[in-house]
Amino acid sequence: MSATLPVVANAGPLMVLAKLNVLHLLKQLYGRVHISRSVYDEVVVEGMRHGHPDASTLHLFLSQMEWQPEDVEPTGIPADIQAAHLDRGERDTLGLALALGKCLVLIDDTAGRQAARAHGMSVKGSLGILIEAYRREMVTTDQLRLYFAEIVRRHDIWINRALAERLLHETLGTQR
């Protein structure tokens, strides 16, 4: 665990890591991850209602970690974040991060990342989490290649193929 900053996760990385069955990396990398109630409702409650297996996986993981969803006071979210083209989960993720102070925000959405950076937050997406785990020797080269290939292959993970391929190449270089 290296996180000196609190870590707040939005829906995207939670869903990706659940689909890849690597949620344990969150605990190994960050120790504790904060999640807003609206993100929990979106990913776990609605996901389970629609029969998505990753929602059940995430529910079990969060229960085992005893990471409870946290309420976010809408009045504490700055007007520019409220006005941005973000969904409720993204707004609440950023609001929770602001309430906790200087944070690392795990978020894939481009607009959400831009809003977080505009407020001085550090951001990392699903691919960045996997790369960090690789660099810290929590996953092997073969595992990293497999996770990236799975991300590219799946139709229920919405990460740009070219971005995934570029980051994998930059991370591994010419390694086989």
Residue 32 domain flag: yes
- Whole domain around residue 60: which residue ranges? 7-127
Q: Kindly report the CATH number assigned to the domain that includes residue 57.
A: 3.40.50.1010
Residue 93 domain flag: yes
Residue 73 domain flag: yes
Identify the band that residue 1 occupies on the pLDDT scale cut at 50, 70 and 90. very low
Residue 83 domain flag: yes
Residue 58 domain flag: yes
Compute how many other C-beta atoms are within 10 angstroms of the C-beta atom of residue 57: 20
Q: What is the pLDDT of residues 33-81, one digit of tens each?
A: 999 999 999 999 999 999 999 999 999 999 999 999 999 998 889 999 9
Q: What is the pLDDT of residues 100-138, one digit of tens each?
A: 998 999 999 999 999 999 999 999 999 999 999 999 999
Q: What is the value of pTM for the model shown?
A: 0.94
Q: Which helix (H) or strand (E) holds 122?
A: strand 122-124
Residue 135 domain flag: no
Q: Rounded CA gap, 51 and 105, in Å?
A: 27
Tokens of 41: 């409702």
Q: Rounded CA gap, 43 and 132, in Å?
A: 24
Whether 25 contacts 129, CB under 8 Å: yes
What pLDDT is stored for residue 4 in this prediction? 76
Residue 161 domain flag: no
Residue 169 domain flag: no
Looking at the 3D structure of the chain, how many domains does it have?
1
